[in-house]
């Protein structure tokens, strides 16, 4: 798809799918395919892999390539697919973004490099070099809580002006003033996605294109329905769904993502709940809390005295 076509299609709930592993921590690509089918059948408007939720820093470069390839083939153009192609290494980010284009991804999501804390000048250069090297549309991923550096609005606006294929940003940023200024300075047609669950609905209200919410891994249909209700003009229904999802959002972030997600999906029988060290499943007490919340949503059976 051309850039303008992608901008029209890439809206709503873009589900950032976990990377499933076998018990021995090898990739479970058959389960990945099943998850993708489930998401599309459940109404997710797009698919993303190898973002934060997909544990990319625990994958080898070859594994990231394999997950991207598997996902792109599994989606098979049914919905847009946006793999995460960024890392702390510039050349690796460049390689993965070029590969995503060659594989037929609709867009690529490139994270602000983590750990090394580049300056705004360096961030501009990093993203511009990647954008100039490909034709594929790019979504920048700004998540200062993970990267220890915030991509400032003026830097993003400069990139938007200088790089026609930078079409949007995923803001996992609790500074809602910053988020408002993104659209002010980048234009109302710039695609703004929420990466923070409690800001998915508010982001739509200020002109956002949708969200890339980890909670979609557990309840994809309801997460997608928030956007559907908003898009159809049913603001009250969208707001109701926003609050209905809040208890689930809260419990899924009581430990570092995606540990609670994988525990929840394991309880639901969707995956083998394995993470790679240094990540691990939540404590037993938190897992009990997760199960209780899942039971409230009818996603698992109530146990013990809850029956």
Known binding residues for pyruvate: 53, 212
Distance of CA 238 to the CA centre of its chain: 20
Q: Which residues are annotated as a binding site?
A: 53, 212
Distance of CA 252 to the CA centre of its chain: 14
Catalytic residue among 170, 222, 227, 262: 170
Does the annotation mark 141 as catalytic? yes
Residues whose CB is less than 8 angstroms from the CB of residue 178 and which lie 6 or more positions away in sequence, other chains included:
150, 153, 171
Catalytic residue among 141, 193, 201, 211: 141
Contact 172, 211 (CB under 8 A): no
d(CA 95, CA 300): 41
Contact 210, 45 (CB under 8 A): yes
Q: Which amino acids are annotated catalytic?
A: 141, 170
């Amino acid at each position: 798809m051309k850039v303008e076509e992608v901008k029209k299609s890439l809206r709503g709930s873009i589900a950032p799918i976990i990377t499933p592993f076998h018990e021995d921590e090898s990739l479970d690509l058959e389960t990945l395919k099943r998850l993708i089918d489930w998401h599309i059948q459940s109404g997710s408007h797009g698919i993303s892999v190898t973002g934060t939720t997909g544990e990319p820093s625990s994958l080898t470069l070859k594994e990231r390539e394999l997950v991207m390839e598997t996902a792109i083939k599994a989606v098979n153009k049914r919905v847009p697919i946006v793999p995460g192609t960024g890392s702390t290494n510039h050349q690796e980010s460049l390689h993965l973004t070029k590969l995503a284009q060659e594989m037929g991804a609709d867009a690529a999501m490139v994270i602000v490099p983590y750990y090394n804390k580049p300056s705004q000048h360096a961030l501009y250069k990093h993203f511009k070099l990647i954008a100039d090297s490909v034709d594929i549309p790019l979504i920048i991923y700004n998540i200062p809580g993970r990267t220890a550096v915030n991509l400032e609005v003026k830097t993003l606006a400069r990139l938007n002006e200088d790089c026609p294929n930078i079409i949007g940003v995923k803001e996992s940023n609790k500074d809602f003033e910053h988020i408002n200024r993104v659209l002010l300075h980048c234009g109302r047609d710039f695609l703004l996605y929420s990466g923070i669950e409690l800001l998915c609905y508010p982001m739509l209200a200020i002109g956002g294109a949708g969200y890339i919410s980890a909670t979609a891994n557990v309840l994809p249909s309801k997460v997608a329905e928030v956007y559907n209700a908003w898009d159809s003009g049913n603001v009250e229904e969208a707001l109701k769904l926003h609050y209905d999802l809040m208890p689930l959002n809260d419990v899924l972030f009581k430990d570092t993502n995606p540990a609670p997600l994988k525990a929840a999906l394991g309880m639901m029988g969707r995956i083998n709940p394995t993470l790679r060290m240094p990540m691990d499943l939540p404590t037993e007490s938190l897992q009990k809390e997760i199960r209780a919340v899942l039971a409230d949503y009818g996603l698992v059976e109530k146990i013990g005295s809850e029956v």
